[in-house]
A and B are shown apart, each in its own frame.
Chain A
């Protein structure tokens, strides 16, 4: 064996030394959390005896499942809207002259620098009876008096999540668009394609994987979110995230909360693997 080359064994040791603490940091809390799901609560006391009872309850109770289904639908709608709006926004920015792109992107990403809670309150301001939306509608004479239906229901949750999560869909799409070499677009026109054909046959197929991954990200975030439904959702906007949250707060049932959120974790993992599959399309080698 060549003395200069480190042996595979020592390479493994170095790798383990680097990765083991990292993995421990990430997985230890997660594992301990999942283990909570094997405990139960009796008389407001956590019983530390292992059983599958709490998981069974979490995964079979029809009320929980209904909330889960409703939340999946909500997250699907939100992520679909983010996909379309995010794509349109990213495409718009991409088509601007190069010197405009960075400032526009910064504007789009700026809300991310604000506190999440503040952004939700900002949306409350927009959607409320005296809010921006009603102001515009009454000024234009589209409605006679302020509409209260924009706030404290499921629609308000959707609108809020869409606005808040949009940057997460826009940025990956923009990156995907930026990575398309200009020569491909030129080659397409050179071969006789008009703008529409070039978009359908070159731009869209090359940027859709990135856009989809972004939308999947918004799906996961929308699934687990509890703050937006809590603050703008009212009774109608009761989501799975809020269900989990109440177990840790009001109900003080940590084992059930842990068991319920295991399902969220599973969904997130599925989405991650789905995104991986999209990212490794055959033609990328």
Chain B
């Protein structure tokens, strides 16, 4: 724990990592940097290669290709027991014949540490995971959440540089799950250990992570903060993976990359884009569209007809159609008094250029 990665460089760098089974490619040339001390979540649908990536890093399987650089050394083919990482397994994988103290102390016992030191550290880590007094219990006598915490303490006690967690909360019910999320996050902050966490639950990823790595079909689609992923998707997959989004097809970025021509009008781009001179699709979140009242202005304003309204408690959703025939969905906080959003009404809606994102246009079918 005292060592630090080379001057602010990443703790772990994955380069061109690939894993192929006979016919399937579980992972295709993945690049990923894990920063020291961060909570990085790997998020993706089932079969996207999350577990494969985690198991490759943990050392449970060997890659077909690529490197895993740790402290500048390629450890892609190093034995599991020689990697300073520890894993929290989805089924906890607690040793059934050992009690809680023996389970937690296993990593230290294996390293031949003196009994007194083991007892001391076990007590400390059981305190951290809030299980003091449970030393003599066997795993069969614990609840799911308690087993989870034993597994976490057992991983943390070895002072790992990186903790790998593969859907550790999947087996817990919703209430306990939320509680454990907070718990995980606070432990991670408290210990400052780097967490690499796998989930296919978007809310969980957003709640827990410093950064999210979105995967699909064995590839990394995008890495960034939750806000980045949400508002600045780089691909169609990411744009539609999280919640609702308006995708406006048929846009073209000017050759100088300064603005984009869209069916909603020409939008000046705030940030430079890699899509200069190319066909593109514009993304804007339904809640980034807001109805303008008389006299209000916005970067962009458009006229639209409300085709349907859906009052859903805290938010009201509406379907709009612009004069140019573009369909949009809009989401705004509901208000107690009569809303200006009424089916059939004409509406002026506005949005800021910074709330939009550009992704490459879909290849012509």
A residues whose Cβ falls under 8 Å from a Cβ of B: 181, 183-184, 186-194, 197, 201-202, 205-206, 281-285
A194: contacting residue among B81, B87, B99, B139, CB under 8 A: B81
| Cβ–Cβ contact B96 & A284, under 8 A | yes
| Cβ–Cβ contact A183 & B81, under 8 A | no
| Cβ–Cβ contact B93 & A183, under 8 A | yes
| Cβ–Cβ contact B96 & A186, under 8 A | no
Closest A residue to B106 using CB positions: A191
Range, interface on chain B: 20 to 34
Chain B residue contacts of A189, Cβ below 8 A: 79-81
Whether, in the assembled complex, B86 has its beta carbon less than 8 Å from a beta carbon of chain A, the answer is yes
Bound CA span A260–B58, Å: 62
Whether, in the assembled complex, B236 has its beta carbon less than 8 Å from a beta carbon of chain A, the answer is no
Whether, in the assembled complex, B204 has its beta carbon less than 8 Å from a beta carbon of chain A, the answer is no
| Cβ–Cβ contact B87 & A190, under 8 A | yes
| Cβ–Cβ contact A192 & B97, under 8 A | no
| Cβ–Cβ contact A186 & B97, under 8 A | no
| Cβ–Cβ contact B81 & A190, under 8 A | yes
Whether, in the assembled complex, B111 has its beta carbon less than 8 Å from a beta carbon of chain A, the answer is yes
A285: contacting residue among B58, B141, B154, CB under 8 A: B141
Closest A residue to B109 using CB positions: A201
Bound CA span A183–B91, Å: 8
Chain A residue contacts of B95, Cβ below 8 A: 184, 187-188, 201-202
Chain B 70-92: CB-based contact to A (< 8 A → 1; otherwise 0): 00000000011100011101010
Give me the 10 closest cross-chain CB pairs, A-B, nearest first.
A183-B93, A191-B107, A187-B93, A285-B140, A189-B80, A283-B138, A193-B110, A192-B110, A190-B87, A192-B81
| Cβ–Cβ contact B96 & A283, under 8 A | yes
Q: Show 23 A/B contacts (Cβ-Cβ < 8 Å), sorted by A.
A: A183-B89, A183-B91, A184-B93, A184-B95, A186-B60, A186-B89, A186-B93, A187-B87, A187-B89, A190-B58, A190-B59, A190-B80, A191-B86, A191-B107, A192-B107, A193-B110, A202-B95, A205-B97, A206-B96, A283-B96, A283-B138, A283-B140, A284-B140
B97: contacting residue among A181, A183, A188, A281, CB under 8 A: A281
Chain A residue contacts of B139, Cβ below 8 A: 283
| Cβ–Cβ contact B140 & A181, under 8 A | no
Bound CA span A282–B91, Å: 21
With A181-B91, A183-B93, A284-B140 already in contact, the answer to whether A190 and B86 are too (CB < 8 A) is yes
Whether, in the assembled complex, B158 has its beta carbon less than 8 Å from a beta carbon of chain A, the answer is yes
Bound CA span A151–B154, Å: 57
Closest A residue to B98 using CB positions: A283
Chain A residue contacts of B107, Cβ below 8 A: 191-192
Chain B 137-170: CB-based contact to A (< 8 A → 1; otherwise 0): 0111100000000000011001000000000000
Bound CA span A250–B141, Å: 59
Bound CA span A46–B152, Å: 73
Chain B residue contacts of A181, Cβ below 8 A: 91, 93
| Cβ–Cβ contact A283 & B97, under 8 A | yes
Bound CA span A283–B136, Å: 11
Bound CA span A193–B139, Å: 20
Q: Is the interface of A mostly helix, strand, loop or mixed?
A: helix
How many A-B contacts if CB must be within 8 Å? Answer: 71
Interchain nearest-CB distance for B316 vs A (Å): 48
Bound CA span A189–B89, Å: 13
Chain A residue contacts of B109, Cβ below 8 A: 201
Bound CA span A194–B112, Å: 12
Chain B residue contacts of A205, Cβ below 8 A: 97
| Cβ–Cβ contact A192 & B91, under 8 A | no
| Cβ–Cβ contact B138 & A282, under 8 A | yes
Interchain nearest-CB distance for A44 vs B (Å): 58
Interchain nearest-CB distance for B144 vs A (Å): 15
| Cβ–Cβ contact B111 & A192, under 8 A | yes
Bound CA span A84–B274, Å: 69
| Cβ–Cβ contact A188 & B140, under 8 A | no
B80: contacting residue among A186, A201, A281, A282, CB under 8 A: A186
Chain B residue contacts of A183, Cβ below 8 A: 89, 91, 93
Chain A residue contacts of B93, Cβ below 8 A: 181, 183-184, 186-187
Bound CA span A282–B137, Å: 10
Bound CA span A202–B93, Å: 12
Q: Beyond A197-B110, A206-B96, A285-B138: 10 further Cβ-contacts under 8 Å? A: A181-B93, A184-B93, A186-B93, A188-B110, A191-B154, A192-B81, A194-B81, A283-B138, A283-B140, A285-B141
Chain A residue contacts of B94, Cβ below 8 A: 187
Bound CA span A193–B141, Å: 26
Bound CA span A206–B106, Å: 16
Bound CA span A184–B154, Å: 13
Bound CA span A93–B79, Å: 24
Closest B residue to A187 using CB positions: B93
Chain B residue contacts of A197, Cβ below 8 A: 110
Closest B residue to A182 using CB positions: B93
Interchain nearest-CB distance for A183 vs B (Å): 4
Chain A residue contacts of B86, Cβ below 8 A: 190-191
Closest B residue to A185 using CB positions: B93
Interchain nearest-CB distance for B138 vs A (Å): 4
Chain B residue contacts of A193, Cβ below 8 A: 81, 106, 110
B124-140: which residues lie under 8 A (CB-CB) from chain A? Answer: 138-140
Chain A residue contacts of B96, Cβ below 8 A: 206, 283-284
Bound CA span A270–B115, Å: 39
Interchain nearest-CB distance for A206 vs B (Å): 6
Bound CA span A193–B95, Å: 13
Interchain nearest-CB distance for A76 vs B (Å): 26
Chain B residue contacts of A282, Cβ below 8 A: 138
Closest B residue to A193 using CB positions: B110
Bound CA span A282–B96, Å: 10
Interchain nearest-CB distance for A113 vs B (Å): 35
Interchain nearest-CB distance for A281 vs B (Å): 7
